[in-house]
Amino acid sequence: MRPFYVTTPIYYVNDKPHIGHAYSTVAADVLARYAKLRGRPTRFLTGTDEHGQKIEQRAKELGKEPQAFVDEMSPPFAQAFRELGCDFDDYIRTTEPRHEAKVQELWKILAEKGDIYLGEYEGWYSVADEAFITETELKALDEVTRSKVQLVKEPSYFFKLSDYTDKLLAFYEQNPTFVQPEGRFNEVKAFVKEGLRDLSVSRTSFTWGIPVPGDDAHVMFVWFDALTNYMSALGGPAKAGEAALYDRFWPSAANGAEVVHIVGKDILRFHAVFWPAFLLAAGLQPPSQVFAHGWLTINGEKMSKRYGNFIPPGPLVEAFGADVVRYYLMREVGFGQDGDFAHKQVFARYHGELGNGLGNLLQRIVASILKNEFGGEVPAPNAIGDEERELVAVAEKAAAAAAQHLDLVGPHRALDAIFELVAAANRYVDRTAPWALAKAGDKERLATVCYHVLESLRWLSVMLAPFLPEKTRALREQLGLPPISPTEALDQWPKAGEFGGLPAGTKTAPGAPLFPRFDPKDEAAILEKLGANKPAEPATKAEKKSKEKKVDEKKPEATEAKAVAPTETKGAAKAEAPSTIVFDDFVKVDLRVGLILEAEAVPKSDKLVRCQIDLGEEKPRQILAGIRLHYAPEALVGKRVIVVANLAPRKMMGLESHGMILAASDTEHGLSVLRLEKDIAPGTRVS
RNA sequence: GGCGAUGUAGCUCAGAUGGCUAGAGCGGGCGUUUCAUACGCGCUAGGUCGCAGGUUCGAUUCCUGCCAUCGCCA
């Protein structure tokens, strides 16, 4: 069987783990567990990306050594993934010697082949993105990011990417599923077709990176470093016989291995263009496939630092259990598309599919009929009829379809197919009415019915194992079956003709419901605890967008208002304001206590003052206010003011403002900023 | 601006090389069962398949234009 090697991106340790990281990793875990179940030699890698200027700076801000900083930041990722039931085979950190050595080796190979040369680079470098950016991009940046863009002119090594335009296009041609989904592949091709420029692959402006071999003044471009993790974790590049894992799992003519990189759509280019180019240059085989999944929004809102709505997986796991979170992530969103993580939907899927569908199926047969009529022992089936044939047909079809979808990296479709069997089994129970058979004393027929339901459950326990490792274990335990132990070269996926593998005489062990129902109170409590109690949610994408648009359209008017600045409103904003508003409307305006940390006059403007205001968020916000004529900037520092925190961002004098300071004015007194009499903590909601 | 894509039931999405009554899940409504986690099962939802033209015996499915949305253009 073809070896299978699946990877997640390595996560940049500047962030803490959130649901986005979890999403990639769970997807990879599902694919790995599936491959293992099918008996394929399988390896699943995840890890952390720990070099780069951003890390260096962050560590410095915290007064730490970079290594100490990343040593602190990396383990929570591994921890979070384990809590989610992710069973990775290796966890690589780019600061490990095993990685650094291999990255340097790859570099040397490219240098020796003449694909790396020393030149000079001049351009805008964004620390936040760890990449040089274009003028266009520069203009589009928000202020926080732009403040970290530098015009850099420095000696730099370049990779001769320009030589690989045609080679990459030819490679894409030969590998028509190299990038998935297809739409993304088209973008990649379009990008390459425009012609590639050489790629700067080293920096001299900071030191937190892997040194360029033979030139200590340079450290490697983080992406060169990071991408190589997929190979270094296997011990490659290496000569045949030097690294067993590499020989086995990195694709070559000899092993026929399949490598799938799961990535977010934002980092597709690095994986679909640069990485294969490096490998082609080194004479190595590129990965088999790069699968770009979409973004998750949270209850309809974009995740971002600004909104502070990154949700860590921990509390979700605590509330729902790892399997339920995994299930939701894999079920709700079409893999490859953007999707929404909506807490309410989690309950809906939990109750509707897992509880009522699957859990109840187990309960209604094992804990009652079987226990009462057969002493909990699996009976041997007797003559079967159309109902049984139909059920078996559905089971076989579901198994085949689910396998096919998983082979093509479509976990949501696989689950869809699998749950066809759940529905069919429930239907089967209704039609055959085992309770009536019991009453009538028809044990023979009853045995057949019970057997078919139990065998269906057994199939489900296998097919759902990649998604619900814990719950399927519990399910099997109740069925009296041992946990599945994946075995290389043994394909354990259920197949046509195999219905009936459950041995008669198996002692079942009825237990607690697999997916106990949350009563509405618990539900509310959980939502409350997770901070997911949104008053009103935007009804549809379209509606939401049009609402946001209205806000934009209103911007010009907003300028007339005293204080300045605009907003990140999500929705709200009625076209015409009624004379009175309900409370719900009021709370749409997010008023917060802000502590002015810095204030300075905006050059070339006689009104604007640029403030950095602490709103209790991770970072202070930049807010512009037209109050210079009334306040000296330095006099504002340390003042507590009222800020509209959910106003859409707006640019003024080339600077972006992320909120608005409230003030009032009249002709007699001039302008007065609203201030607090007491030292209420920054970020406190005003109501 | 260039390139690409999308626009189908309240929601999330399938689908048709053009042709009988356009589908699924969820939600809603109605009914029903009682083995089971107030669970299950059955029925139901009258959606101009974005808008306007064109090709055709016939288009929601092909073509053109328009509108809207989205993605990519280091």
CA of A7 to C1' of B68 (A): 38
- State whether residue A167 is helix, strand or coil: helix
The pLDDT of residue A543 is: 34
Q: Is the ipTM of this complex over 0.90?
A: yes
| A384-402 tens-digit pLDDT | 999 999 999 999 999 999 9
The pLDDT of residue A654 is: 64
CA of A474 to C1' of B70 (A): 43
Q: pLDDT confidence of A574, banded at 50, 70, 90?
A: very low
In whole angstroms, what is the distance from residue A418 CA to residue A462 CA? 10
The pLDDT of residue A567 is: 28
Could you check: is the Cβ of residue A539 within 7 Å of any atom of nucleic acid strand B? yes
Could you check: is the Cβ of residue A456 within 7 Å of any atom of nucleic acid strand B? no
Quick check: A535 pLDDT over 70?
A: no
- Collect all residues with Cβ–Cβ distance below 8 Å to A417 and sequence separation of at least 6: A397, A398, A401, A402, A405
Q: Which residue is nearest to nucleotide B14 (CA to C1')?
A: A413
Supply the mean pLDDT for chain A. Answer: 86
What does pTM read for this prediction? 0.79
- Looking at the DSSP bridge assignments, the partners of residue A673 are A663
Burial of A318 (0-12, 13-18, 19+ CB in 10 A): middle
Could you check: is the Cβ of residue A390 within 7 Å of any atom of nucleic acid strand B? no
Mean pLDDT throughout A440-469? 97
Quick check: A548 pLDDT over 60?
A: no
- Helices A443-463 and A469-479: crossing angle in degrees, nearest 10, is 160
> Which residue would you say has higher pLDDT here, A674 or A228?
A228
Could you check: is the Cβ of residue A612 within 7 Å of any atom of nucleic acid strand B? no
Could you check: is the Cβ of residue A337 within 7 Å of any atom of nucleic acid strand B? yes
The pLDDT of residue A139 is: 65
Strand B footprint nucleotides (protein C-beta < 7 Å): 2-5, 10-14, 26-27, 33-42, 68-74
- Tokens 């429930």 correspond to what residue? A426
Task: Choose the weakest-confidence range: A237-241, A481-485, A510-514, A539-543.
Answer: A539-543
Mean pLDDT throughout A142-152? 68
Q: pLDDT confidence of A138, banded at 50, 70, 90?
A: low
CA of A501 to C1' of B16 (A): 40
- Helices A322-332 and A469-479: crossing angle in degrees, nearest 10, is 110
- Collect all residues with Cβ–Cβ distance below 8 Å to A6 and sequence separation of at least 6: A28, A31, A32, A35, A42, A43, A44, A45, A259, A260, A261, A262
CA of A345 to C1' of B60 (A): 31
Q: pLDDT confidence of A555, banded at 50, 70, 90?
A: very low
> Which residue would you say has higher pLDDT here, A201 or A660?
A201
Quick check: A363 pLDDT over 70?
A: yes
Quick check: A132 pLDDT over 70?
A: no
Q: Are A571 and A548 in contact (CB under 8 A)?
A: yes
| A607-662 tens-digit pLDDT | 778 878 888 777 788 888 877 777 777 778 888 888 888 776 666 766 777 888 88
CA of A543 to C1' of B27 (A): 19
Nucleotide nearest to A367 (CA to C1'): B36
Quick check: A309 pLDDT over 60?
A: yes
Nucleotide nearest to A268 (CA to C1'): B72
- Collect all residues with Cβ–Cβ distance below 8 Å to A583 and sequence separation of at least 6: none
C-beta atoms surrounding A614 within 10 Å = 20
CA of A92 to C1' of B36 (A): 47
Task: Choose the weakest-confidence range: A188-202, A251-265, A338-352, A540-554.
Answer: A540-554
In whole angstroms, what is the distance from residue A206 CA to residue A589 CA? 43
Mean pLDDT throughout A242-268? 95
Quick check: A89 pLDDT over 80?
A: yes
- Bridge-based pairing of strands A116-126 and A660-661 is unpaired
DSSP string for residues in A262-300: EEEGGGHHIIIIIHHHHHHHTT-PPPSEEEEE-PEEETT
Mean pLDDT throughout A590-595? 83
Could you check: is the Cβ of residue A171 within 7 Å of any atom of nucleic acid strand B? no
CA of A559 to C1' of B14 (A): 47
CA of A343 to C1' of B69 (A): 26
CA of A392 to C1' of B1 (A): 58
| C-alpha Rg value of chain A to the nearest Å | 29
CA of A265 to C1' of B72 (A): 11
CA of A245 to C1' of B22 (A): 52
Could you check: is the Cβ of residue A345 within 7 Å of any atom of nucleic acid strand B? no
Could you check: is the Cβ of residue A513 within 7 Å of any atom of nucleic acid strand B? yes
CA A247 to chain centre: 30
CA distances from A369 to A375, A433, A450, A570 (A): 9, 11, 8, 53
- Helices A313-320 and A520-529: crossing angle in degrees, nearest 10, is 170
CA A212 to chain centre: 32
Nucleotide nearest to A134 (CA to C1'): B74
Q: What is the 3-state composition of chain A as percent helix, strand, coil, each rounded to the nearest 5?
A: 45, 20, 35
Nucleotide nearest to A539 (CA to C1'): B11
Q: What percent of chain A has pLDDT over 70?
A: 85
Which amino acid is present at A485? Answer: S
In whole angstroms, what is the distance from residue A169 CA to residue A166 CA? 5
Quick check: A35 pLDDT over 80?
A: yes
Mean pLDDT throughout A293-312? 81
Quick check: A5 pLDDT over 90?
A: yes
Nucleotide nearest to A545 (CA to C1'): B69
| A41-88 tens-digit pLDDT | 999 999 999 999 889 999 999 999 999 999 999 999 999 999 999 999
C-beta atoms surrounding A577 within 10 Å = 9
Task: Choose the weakest-confidence range: A106-120, A499-513, A579-593, A645-659.
Answer: A579-593
